[in-house]
Every structure is written in C-alpha cells, then in structure tokens.
Amino acid sequence: MIDFQHILNTIVEEISSEPDKGIVATYIPELAKVDCTKFGISLLDNNAKLYSSGEANEMFSIQSISKVLSLSMAFRILGNDLWNRVGVEPSGDPFNHLSLLEMENGIPRNPLINAGAIVIADILVTQLKNPKQEFLEYIRKIANDNSINYDESVAKSEKETGFRNYAAAYLIKSFGNLKNDVEEVLDFYFHQCSLRMSCEQLVTIFYIFSNRGECLQNHRYLDLNQVKRINAIMLTSGFYDEAGEFAFEVGLPGKSGVGGGIVALLPNKFCVATWSPGLNKKGNSKLGMLALEKLTTTTALSIF
C-alpha cells in the first residue's frame, strides 16, 4: 500500500529548498504578478481518495491545460471527423511557432499547440450556440463544481498581447481551415485559457482521463477509444518541445500551462496536478516537472 500523503508531503518539503524556482511568464502581464515561490500538489487515486500538500487549494490560471478539455468536448461532438482539421503528430517546436503551419497548409500538427487549439476553438464556436457558457458548463459538470470560472482580467490581458495567436489564426484562415470570424474564435480561445482552478479541482476534472472516461459521479463523458487517443496526444505533445524529456523523466501522459500548472495521469491508478508558477526555458513549470519526476521515481508508478 503506497502512502501517497507521506510522499506528497516529502516532495513539498524537498521542493521548498530548491534554489532555482524558474521564472514567471511575463508576456501575459496578469501572469507576471504571481509569486513564483508558490507550490501545490494534489493526487486523486483510483479509489477516488484525494491527497494534497502545499498550496493545492490556491486558484491559478490553467492556460494551455484547458486545451485538453476543449479537445475532449470537440471529440465528443465530431468523433473521428475531428482529425480532418488537425493532426496528431508531435511538433518538436515551441507552442507558439508558425513555421510548420505554413509548410503543412494550415493543418496544425496537433491539437495541443496554440494553432491546433485555435482550430479546436473554431470547431466549438461552430457547433455550440453559446460557446463560452456551454464550455464552462461542460467543465463544471465534470468537476461537479459551479465555482469554476473564467478570469476576465487574464482573458483581457491575453487579448491585448496575443499577437502571435492572431497571426496563427489568420494564417490558418488563409488556408481555409478556420470557418468563423478570427475575433470570435480568439475571444473563445483566450477565455478558455483564462480558466481558474486549483490543483484539487484539476485532478477532479482530469480523473476522467485516468478512469476510462467516467467522472467521480460515474457519468461517462468519453468512450475508451477517445480516452486512449487523448492520453496518447498528451504523452507525445503535452509539453511541446519538452515532451520527450517529460516522458523520459516522468513517464506519464500530461499537459502543462504557462500559469505554472501541470496535470498528469496513470490510467486506472491516479491523476496528479502540480502548481508552481516559475517556468523553465521551455515554458513548463520547473518545480512541477521536478516534483512529478520525484513522484514516479519514488512510487515506481509510470506507464513504462
């Protein structure tokens, strides 16, 4: 029997003494205000038991972690037709690069880079009557938590500084792979990325990816085929040009965000989330990456 609580407490204690905590993202001004010494971790096991340590209840901007959730919603709606609009290969490039988009005729390499998530946003804007509200309700239902909401100040900050996202959207539209107005699509995308949650809320939502598509209330949101494919994309593309390093060091499917969050999972075993806003050079949480390596090494639990 693994004592997850003791392991998490030990990780928090060890992490607190790390001298290099990374650098907070400054290109989104609202994110630059966060204290980089913060650290929290939560783990939800396959018996639905929650373990937490550090600042696991503090809310933060989940940013690109939201791309997995929008992908799951679009996959539910379109099924495998989704893959006509976006690929499933790792990009090997930073999350906001445009070079592959030009070379591959406006079909993003995968749905977890910015360009791919913008195409997913376009699909949801097409398919939903009130996209921002319906997406928020989808997240709240999975979590069974109506307190989850957008951070309007972060969404505004992203819109004011999101020039590369505008460039990507217009480039995609020039190839005919964006059906709606760029402003409308990016308004949804910026709000999606501005979702605020804690580590405990994140593991509750991402539990569906470790529990064969079922949430804690035993409602099925995804079938096994969809869970398999989303988890595979998280493993190969969830950390952009550091995906190989994360697989090598941690060995779990997962997704990071520049707000400092990371969520990862071991199918049928657990879901774990960390938050530490200081980032490494690749834009992933420096202490979060270290904490998850410690977790899988200590427990000897990974997909490998």
Rounded to whole angstroms, the Cα distance separating 215 from 43 reads 15
pLDDT of 32:
83
Residue 233: CA count within 13 A, CB half-sphere: 25
Examine the residue annotation and report whether 150 is marked as an active-site residue of this protein.
Answer: no
29: tokens are: 């001004």
Examine the residue annotation and report whether 67 is marked as an active-site residue of this protein.
Answer: yes
Q: List, for the chain, all residue ranges whose pLDDT scores fall below the cut of 70.
A: 93-97
Catalytic residue among 42, 53, 61, 64: 64
Examine the residue annotation and report whether 51 is marked as an active-site residue of this protein.
Answer: no
Give Cβ neighbours of residue 48 (< 8 Å, ≥ 6 apart): 207, 216
Q: What is the pLDDT of residues 26-66, one digit of tens each?
A: 888 888 888 888 999 999 999 999 999 999 999 999 999 99
- Which amino acid is located at 281 in the chain? K
Catalytic residue among 150, 207, 221, 240: 240
Coil, helix or strand at residue 255? strand
Which domains does the chain carry? 4-63+196-299 (3.40.710.10), 65-193 (3.40.710.10)
Catalytic residue among 51, 150, 189, 207: 189
Coil, helix or strand at residue 14? helix
Q: Residue 278 gets which letter from DSSP?
A: E
CB atoms closer than 10 angstroms to residue 132? 16
pLDDT of 110:
95
Q: CA–CA distance from 110 to each of 136, 234, 255, 269 (Å)?
A: 23, 10, 13, 26
Catalytic residue among 38, 67, 269, 294: 67
Sign of CA dihedral 248, 252, 253, 257: negative
Examine the residue annotation and report whether 64 is marked as an active-site residue of this protein.
Answer: yes
What pTM was computed for the model?
0.96
Q: What is the pLDDT of residues 149-178, one digit of tens each?
A: 999 999 999 999 999 999 999 999 999 999
Rounded to whole angstroms, the Cα distance separating 123 from 143 reads 23
Q: What is the pLDDT of residues 179-196, one digit of tens each?
A: 999 999 999 999 999 999
Exposure of 39 by Cβ count < 10 A (0-12 exposed, 13-18 middle, 19+ buried)?
A: buried
